[in-house]
Amino acid sequence: MLEALGVDPSAEQVYLEILKRPYLGVAGLAARLGWTVEAVRAALAELTRLSLLRPSLEPDLFRPVRPDVGLEVLLARQRVEIMQRQQLIEEGRAAMDVLVADYAGRHDATVAKEIRGRVQVREKLEQLGYSAERELLSFAPGGEAFPPSRPLAKWMLGQGLTIRTVYLTSSRNDAVTSEHVRWLAEHGGSVRTVPVLPTWMLAIDRRCVVVPLDPEQPADGVAVHEGRGVVAAMCALFDQIWHTAEPTGVRSTDNGDLSAQERSLLRLMLRVDTDEQAARSMGVSTRTIGRMAAELMCRLGAKNRFQAGAIAVERGWI
């Protein structure tokens, strides 16, 4: 109910329970909800961050902020964030339109090549995907059609390549798209959402960009750009939108197919250890810890490392 305001279901459940029974402490909430104490503490920390709880004079108790006050503040924050993201997207779209218009007038086949026909487009995308050596970036405002097929995506991820895709926030309401997003995230892809996207787009290794000839019918024809100006501009637009996009977590009831190393890091994250402490404990570099932590937070849909550890406990992953 409150997820649209940035309150995750676990935190919402604790908030509603405290509104009904403000006399319950951490242990009482855990017993009432059938949760671990760690999971309750994670939810309480999130509610405090969202200004929906205030410390009480009595130890181990919290004072809930009235819903009409606290939720109105969250709604105002959401409005501001959406306006800021919309402005960034509009600025990026304006820059993209200028660059695309500039290059569209040039008929140098080495810069842009048009591919027409659904079969031909799909074959070209598959060819480009299998030629990738590092990463694939994409905007997918219409769901699964334009990003790589599942066999290609599975092959790329199996080769250790990176796939990052941005969908529309509204796609969460579409069963087919939601199922594909879950599949992609479960197989190692990174997925985020934004309220508005400028157009379809696919980038391979930051050396080649594919955009539709007609944004309304992206599968009918595409333009493949290899000119450094267009590629740099579109990849910069992707980076800008990705930075402001909302991560989408994968909620599952299994163990998350975690490696022993990932499971150890989640336990350390729950204790709020620093990267240096975690690196020493696990015998790896701080860079490795940072990369692994970012990937785990994205998979779990967590906003911080402590929350990632708490969610993993709640799901029974550790």
Paired strand residues for 234: none
Beta strands in the chain (DSSP E): 53-55, 62-64, 112-116, 135-140, 162-168, 190-194, 201-204, 208-212, 221-225, 246-247
Q: pLDDT tens digits, residue range 68-96?
A: 777 777 777 778 777 887 888 888 777 77
Instruction: Give the rounded percent of residues in the chain with a pLDDT score beyond 90.
Output: 11
Residue 69 has what pLDDT?
Answer: 76
The domain limits of the chain are: 3-65, 92-247, 252-315
Residue 138 has what pLDDT?
Answer: 92
Q: pLDDT tens digits, residue range 143-181?
A: 554 556 788 888 888 888 889 999 887 777 778 888 888
Tell me the CATH number for domain 92-247: 3.30.870.10
The whole-chain average pLDDT of the chain stands at 80
| 3 state SS of 273 | coil
The answer to whether residue 44 scores a pLDDT higher than 70 is yes
Higher pLDDT, 285 or 238: 238
Higher pLDDT, 158 or 273: 158
Tell me the CATH number for domain 3-65: 1.10.10.10
Judge if 3-65 and 92-247 fold alike in CATH terms. no
Q: How many CA atoms lie within 13 A of 247 on its CB side?
A: 19
Average pLDDT over residues 100-105: 62
Look at domain 252-315 and name its CATH class: mainly alpha
The answer to whether residue 105 scores a pLDDT higher than 60 is no
The answer to whether residue 238 scores a pLDDT higher than 70 is yes
Angle at 167 between CA 14 and CA 255, to 5 degrees: 50
